[in-house]
Chains A and B, each alone.
Chain A
């Protein structure tokens, strides 16, 4: 187990160290710019986003006792998409305090829908399945409104919207990271403090309550902090699919299900997984930047099908 942990962490470190050098060859005179202004900030962004999304995925899977639970389960992604679409259609090329309006709107949308679900979670006799249903209902509602918004958009706006929903990492500079980092940090650090309580959750909510866990508080904190982190990531990068679903399953397979290992390792593995996907996105179609969301989906779908097939067999 210890050996596996060391190997896994070493692989992650290697991926992160090598990733910025993967890509089309850099002309010598532009090398510094490409490396320091494009690739390294992108790598850092991928680290933050990949780590946050994966941790939230691991926490939600623990919380809902459902291997398929994800931020999209409780409507976070649908809310973000709705917010972004509204901003795009309203012609948001402007920025507010250096924050692109699309980003701000997506953040508000993501947080808004998830907090509605969290408010339901605060109820006394709410079962986790009810929450999943509520999440699906809110997702469908947000999706329907999004479709309505798209209907009133022109083709240029639609193209922007489509690009956004593919999931991408911002192109240039450090400013985005500086804004996202505090949000992600609050989410990640906060969620990691719930590790011990989530370990007790493995034997069921009522049993956990009898062993001293304040189930309602843990539930609300998990959903609230998770929604915050995911809202931040989705706002800047669009809905990057599958990271939050796959990474915890990989960690679980290799290192076991103890939350003490699963949660922190999901952060590290998720961070390097997205860094790797980003590097792959740079080289998979030469001369073109593939949106990273396509790479994660391409890698994630087969794995997910495999997991489902294994589970049902």
Chain B
């Protein structure tokens, strides 16, 4: 099967420093890939490279087999939709208008965009927010609307950049439940996070093994594993410079970090 997104040997330098060094990654339809790592590990750079917002100094990025730099923004938008950490809306546009704007890649009437926006809002149970200015919504509601925009773009691969960073625990749970829904509906998901445990909310029974985890550290791929791999805790611990142990809570595996000094 061809990959939707394939990053091979991507290197990005900023002056002397390598923000990203020889990173490779593939996402096929229906894949869930989590990219984890501490702040400054290169997660955001990797995301920008995947989106075509930044050209790698070496290596190659392809979407559906074609070089990302050779694609027009519209062609890229047809493959890849992006959910930023939070919506940076500068003006009080309504939720429906915001979602309708995400249909830019389609050549269609505005009426059609608005209808599609309502459908997308309904899929995330945010229909009542449709005519509310987005700037007046809570952080959780805003991300819900942002997910609707993501769906409205109708791309087969979604790229999530720490989407729950600014949310409280209930909102995080809600958001990752939506991410799980998108994944089950067949989308490829590339999710960047420094908190591995939020992924538990996106899972359904038996799906742990299908979540691939890619650890980044200092711009390099530190490990590649699966969510149910027995040694994932050790890998994570090394990347985050703590001791990490996986524990079962209500049939879900979560990871707890402990300081290195007091170790055995």
Q: A residues engaging B (CB < 8 A)? A: 65, 196-197, 199-200, 202-204, 206-215, 252, 256-258, 260
Contact = CB atoms under 8 A, between A and B. Distances in A.
A206 to B, nearest CB: 6
B97 A206 contact: no
Interface string B61-79: 0000000000011101110
A212 to B, nearest CB: 3
Contacts of A203: 87-90, 98, 101
A1 to B, nearest CB: 9
B93 A209 contact: no
Contacts of B78: 212
Given A212-B73, A215-B73, A257 B91 contact: yes
Contact of A210 (B53, B89, B94, B101): B53
A203 B52 CA distance: 18
Nearest to B106: A212
Interface in B89-112: 89-94, 97-98, 101-102, 104-105, 110
Contact of B97 (A199, A209, A210, A212): A199
A212 B101 contact: no
25 contacts: A196-B101, A197-B104, A199-B101, A202-B90, A202-B91, A203-B88, A203-B90, A204-B90, A206-B53, A208-B104, A209-B73, A210-B51, A210-B82, A211-B77, A211-B101, A211-B102, A211-B105, A211-B153, A212-B74, A212-B76, A212-B77, A212-B78, A214-B72, A214-B74, A257-B92
B84 interface: yes
Most buried by B among A208, A209, A210: A210
Given A212-B104, A258-B97, 12 more contacts: A202-B98, A203-B87, A203-B101, A204-B88, A204-B89, A209-B51, A209-B52, A210-B76, A211-B104, A211-B105, A211-B153, A258-B94
Most buried by A among B84, B97, B105: B97
A253 B94 CA distance: 14
B90 A200 contact: no
A13 B199 CA distance: 58
B101 A65 contact: no
B80 interface: yes
Contacts of B88: 203-204, 207
Contacts of B104: 196-197, 199-200, 208, 211-213
A190 B126 CA distance: 36
A269 to B, nearest CB: 18
A199 B97 CA distance: 9
A210 B78 CA distance: 9
Contact of A209 (B53, B98, B102, B153): B53
